[in-house]
């Protein structure tokens, strides 16, 4: 069931319900009004017959016989308090309707009563005459009123049917107009593919929900286009980085095999090839680690102590190069061990922090980095500082892209994957990285990780 049909159906059901309730209310209150009005007429007629009988009973039958146009099917009965009939009149063609003694006693006590007797409504009153009290009954069938109510019911029924069909038509036109911009958006989205990701959906000028929906799709397309661009750039850069050592190895082997050489020359070639192979191994390892961070479900997460990971990072970075120096400063340690814990993968966090710390040493003139670790109830804060060249403001947002190397990299060897890997790992752990760089304080990477207590909040 498409949305246009759903809107039409819902709109029709709602309007039909409202019209039905309105029609029923009109019919119900009209019928109530007819009944009340007819009862008042009967009671008034009974009172007038009582006065007339009291004053000049002899002319009462003449009056009843000549007033047939008022209520065609009617009867008049007058009884004394003992239940003996004093006067009776029944319209032509009517069967006599007896009045039981219980009704007479009830009216004698209450003074009046209006009740139903088959198709007739009867009004009975107790009249106190100067000579003798008596009871007057005036009954009749409101044929004219019932006919008018029946006609009203037919009018309301057919009006309801006409209203339902009109609502269906109007609802269909209304829903078609309503979903037209949605169909336009669907059509534009269906036309977008990987070959024309630059196409954007028309938003229009109205600041409504459809405008927001179109903007949401456009934002999604922007992210997809950026993702495709980064993916193509990543593949291109990875291919280039992998082909460079392979080309070097192939060239060296071709030159070496061109003629016989002594063992020293062969050794130099093998050492050079070994360096190229090691470069490829490091690059492949980094690429695999980046690929691994893209599949969160395949990563095992456990409770890990960040301080222990930091100790290992500091120790291992120093072993990478004898010139590297890492100063470690730890703030006030928490009283409870659980406040030192984070929820994550120890190997990935180690890789991220090691890459950032190693870069701090690698790009600092004095080959020195400072690592500061602080704990708080809600998060764990790690700062890595160095005194390297200032990173330009416009470059900071790009340094976490794969294979990006800033203008300050110079001749320092690297692939531009370390920070990209670190950023993905920290993001995987619901953390964040902030970079500041200026002449006064140098460059500082601030890593914020949620503590174990706040990871699921």
Has residue 172 been placed in a domain? no
- Over the stretch 281-301, which tens digit does the pLDDT of each residue have? 766 776 666 666 555 555 677
- Residue 97 tokens read as 């309707």
Same domain, 307 and 445: yes
Same domain, 336 and 226: no
- Residue 295 tokens read as 């599949």
Final residue before a domain boundary, out of 148, 166, 187: 148
At residue 140, φ and ψ (nearest 5 deg) are: -170, 165
According to the model, what pLDDT value does residue 157 have?
Answer: 94
With bands split at pLDDT 50, 70 and 90, how would you rate the model's confidence at 74? confident
Same domain, 315 and 446: yes
- Over the stretch 298-329, which tens digit does the pLDDT of each residue have? 567 788 888 899 999 999 888 888 888 999 99
Using CA atoms, how far apart are residues 105 and 111, in angstroms rounded to an integer?
10
According to the model, what pLDDT value does residue 238 have?
Answer: 62
With bands split at pLDDT 50, 70 and 90, how would you rate the model's confidence at 401? confident
Has residue 179 been placed in a domain? no
Using CA atoms, how far apart are residues 295 and 450, in angstroms rounded to an integer?
20
Q: How many domains does the structure of the chain reveal? A: 3
Has residue 156 been placed in a domain? no
- Domain carrying residue 51: 3-148
Contact 369, 327 (CB under 8 A): yes
Least confident of 25-34, 103-112, 401-410: 401-410
Using CA atoms, how far apart are residues 383 and 258, in angstroms rounded to an integer?
54
Has residue 160 been placed in a domain? no
Strands 432-438 and 379-386 come out as unpaired
Q: Which residue has the higher pLDDT, 113 or 244?
A: 113
Burial of 363 (0-12, 13-18, 19+ CB in 10 A): buried
Final residue before a domain boundary, out of 229, 264, 292: 292
pLDDT of 408 > 70? The answer is: no
Q: What sign does the dihedral 411-417-420-425 (CA atoms) show?
A: negative
Using CA atoms, how far apart are residues 191 and 379, in angstroms rounded to an integer?
45
Among 139, 102, 89, smallest CA distance to 119 is for 139
Candidate ranges 97-101, 147-151, 417-421; pick with highest mean pLDDT:
147-151
Provide the whole-model pTM: 0.51
Has residue 185 been placed in a domain? no
Q: Which residue has the higher pLDDT, 390 or 44?
A: 44
CA angle at 449 for the pair 445 and 451, rounded to the nearest 5° = 150
- Over the stretch 338-396, which tens digit does the pLDDT of each residue have? 778 888 888 888 888 888 898 888 888 888 899 999 988 788 899 999 887 777 777 77
Taking CA atoms, 239 is separated from 120, 234, 246, 278, in Å, by 102, 8, 10, 17
Q: Which residue has the higher pLDDT, 188 or 236?
A: 188
Element (H, E) at 303: strand 302-305
CATH number reported for the structural domain that contains residue 322 in this entry: 3.30.565.10
CATH number reported for the structural domain that contains residue 256 in this entry: 1.10.287.130
Using CA atoms, how far apart are residues 259 and 111, in angstroms rounded to an integer?
141
- Over the stretch 136-162, which tens digit does the pLDDT of each residue have? 999 988 888 999 999 999 999 999 999
Burial of 104 (0-12, 13-18, 19+ CB in 10 A): buried
> Both ends of the chain: CA-CA distance in Å?
39
Final residue before a domain boundary, out of 234, 264, 292: 292
Using CA atoms, how far apart are residues 348 and 352, in angstroms rounded to an integer?
6
Query: Is 122 in a helix, a strand, or coil?
Result: strand
Has residue 165 been placed in a domain? no
CATH number reported for the structural domain that contains residue 91 in this entry: 3.30.450.20
Element (H, E) at 273: helix 263-292
What average pLDDT does the chain have? 82
């Amino acid at each position: 069931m498409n949305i246009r049909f759903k809107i039409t159906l819902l709109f029709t059901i709602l309007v039909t319900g409202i019209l039905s309730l309105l029609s029923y209310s009109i019919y119900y209150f009209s019928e109530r009004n007819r009944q009340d009005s007819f009862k008042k007429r009967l009671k008034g007629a009974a009172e007038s017959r009582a006065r007339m009988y009291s004053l000049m009973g002899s002319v009462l039958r003449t009056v009843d016989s000549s007033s047939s146009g008022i209520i065609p099917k009617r009867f008049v009965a007058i009884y004394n308090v003992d239940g003996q009939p004093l006067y009776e009149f029944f319209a032509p063609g009517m069967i006599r309707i007896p009045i039981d003694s219980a009704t007479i006693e009830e009216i004698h006590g209450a003074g009046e009563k209006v009740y139903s007797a088959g198709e007739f409504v009867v009004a009975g009153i107790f009249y106190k005459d100067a000579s003798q009290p008596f009871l007057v009954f005036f009954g009749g069938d409101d044929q004219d009123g019932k006919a008018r109510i029946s006609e009203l019911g037919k009018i309301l029924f057919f009006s309801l049917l006409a209203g339902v069909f009109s609502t269906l038509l109007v609802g269909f036109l209304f829903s078609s107009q309503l979903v037209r911009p949605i169909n336009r958006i669907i059509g534009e989205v269906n036309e977008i593919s990987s070959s024309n990701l630059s196409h954007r959906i028309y938003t229009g000028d109205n600041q409504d929900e459809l405008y927001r929906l179109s903007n949401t799709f456009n934002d999604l397309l922007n992210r997809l286009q950026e993702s495709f661009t980064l993916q193509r750039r990543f593949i291109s850069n990875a291919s280039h980085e992998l082909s460079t050592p392979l080309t070097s190895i192939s060239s060296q082997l071709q030159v070496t095999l061109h003629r016989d050489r002594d063992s020293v020359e062969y050794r130099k070639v093998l050492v050079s090839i070994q360096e190229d192979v090691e470069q490829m191994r490091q690059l492949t390892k980094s690429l695999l680690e980046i690929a691994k961070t893209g599949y969160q479900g395949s990563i095992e997460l456990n409770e890990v102590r960040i301080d222990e990971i930091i100790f290992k990072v500091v120790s291992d970075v120093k072993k990478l190069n004898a010139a590297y120096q890492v100063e470690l400063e730890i703030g006030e340690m928490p009283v409870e061990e659980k406040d030192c814990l984070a929820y994550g993968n120890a190997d990935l966090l180690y890789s991220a922090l090691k890459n950032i710390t190693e870069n701090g040493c690698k790009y600092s003139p004095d080959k020195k980095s400072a690592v500061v670790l602080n704990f708080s109830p809600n998060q764990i804060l790690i700062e890595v500082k160095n005194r390297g060249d200032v990173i330009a403001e416009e470059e900071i947002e790009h340094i976490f892209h794969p294979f990006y190397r800033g203008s300050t990299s110079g001749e320092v060897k690297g692939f531009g994957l370390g920070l990209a890997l670190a950023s993905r790992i920290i993001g995987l752990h619901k953390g964040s990285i902030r970079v500041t760089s200026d002449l006064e304080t140098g460059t500082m990477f601030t890593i914020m990780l949620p503590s174990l207590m706040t990871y699921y909040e």
